Amino acid sequence: MARMDTQSYLVALQAQAAPDYRVMAKILAKEAGVPQFKLMKEIRECGGILVEDLPREKAERLVTQLNANSVPSFHAPQSDLVALPGAFLVREASATEKEIVVKGRPASGSALRVTKIKIPWKRITMLAAARVRGEEEYRTTKSFIDFRPPVVTAGGITPSRQYRRFKRTTKKRTKWQYFLDAIVAEPPLDIRFAASGFRYASLGIPLLRTSFENFCTLIKYMCLNCQEGIADRSVQLVLDGNPLTRLDSHSDQAYNDYLRWKLLLRSR
């Protein structure tokens, strides 16, 4: 008797794919039985992994349809996908020829519970950079003039009085942040440097005029030492002299999905 395949599968884009999002949305929407427009935003931000947790037959059917419509893709067991524990946000670091020691804190929701990590350079398998969209809270204070009406008392009439009142509110606004991630595949680890939150002097990097110039210098420093790791295209653009990484992610989750996709491609 043939054994039933109970494993879940995912469908992902090939490395060289430059697909038409509308074609992808049309195929996936038809398979899922939902309107095409409902999937457009999700597909644009998918990071390279289109669908997860599918039966093998359904995954194979989707790949066949996508490839037939000029969307290079493949399917793989869900177990091939590296589960990153959440980013470790680096505040400062020190390094030798053999290793880098980073200090900081785990990101919100991370499974890590440490404030210091020591990593040999040769264990870093990939470097990637992105401009990630997030939110930050800020407070506003609004002042206005109010009047207190006259009050009649036993002693006479208290005249009206003018006074100033303040109203404080907390709002949210969009904040774009540049990240550089050093990925360790085994065991999975994501070391994240933020352009505006890292102390560059701790690595001996001379400070330049802007935090982005310092960030580009950090990318070059990390690539020089991680000679056994792969520089993602977002990093390679900076090394080639381009002032931007050209990789925008609309959320932390979208960027994390992109990193998982890149690790999946590397393992194939």
Confirm if 260 and 267 have CB atoms less than 8 A apart: no
Note whether 127 and 31 are same-domain residues.
Answer: no
Band the pLDDT of 1: cuts 50, 70, 90: very low
The pLDDT > 90 percentage for the chain reads 42
CA angle 205, 210, 213 (to 5 degrees): 55
The 10s digit of each residue's pLDDT in 5-17 is 678 999 999 986 6
The 10s digit of each residue's pLDDT in 53-84 is 999 999 999 999 999 998 999 999 999 988 88
Note whether 218 and 103 are same-domain residues.
Answer: yes
pLDDT at 67: 92
Q: What is the dihedral of CA 241, 126, 9, 2, to 10 degrees?
A: 130
Whole-number Å distance between alpha carbons of 146 and 241:
58
Note whether 162 and 105 are same-domain residues.
Answer: no
Whole-number Å distance between alpha carbons of 215 and 198:
9
Domain boundary among 64, 80, 96: 80
> Is residue 215 in some structural domain?
yes
The pLDDT of 133-155, averaged and rounded, is 77
Averaged confidence pLDDT in the chain: 86
Confirm if 147 and 162 have CB atoms less than 8 A apart: yes
Confirm if 226 and 95 have CB atoms less than 8 A apart: no
156 or 219, greater pLDDT: 219
Whole-number Å distance between alpha carbons of 192 and 86:
10
The 10s digit of each residue's pLDDT in 92-101 is 999 999 999 9
175 or 91, greater pLDDT: 91
The pLDDT of 252-264, averaged and rounded, is 89
89 or 139, greater pLDDT: 89
Note whether 16 and 45 are same-domain residues.
Answer: yes
Whole-number Å distance between alpha carbons of 125 and 266:
9
User: How does DSSP classify residue 123?
Assistant: G
Note whether 119 and 148 are same-domain residues.
Answer: no
SS (H, E, C) 69-100: CCCCEEEEEHHHCCCCCCEEEEEEEEECCCEE
> Is residue 258 in some structural domain?
no
1 or 125, greater pLDDT: 125
> Is residue 132 in some structural domain?
yes
pLDDT at 121 over 90: yes
Domain of residue 145 covers 140-171
Band the pLDDT of 166: cuts 50, 70, 90: confident
> Is residue 262 in some structural domain?
no
The 10s digit of each residue's pLDDT in 198-253 is 999 999 999 888 888 899 899 999 999 998 888 888 888 777 777 666 677 878 88
pLDDT at 2 over 60: no
> Is residue 166 in some structural domain?
yes
Model pTM? 0.80
Q: How far is CA 20 from CA 25, 115, 254, in A?
A: 9, 43, 18
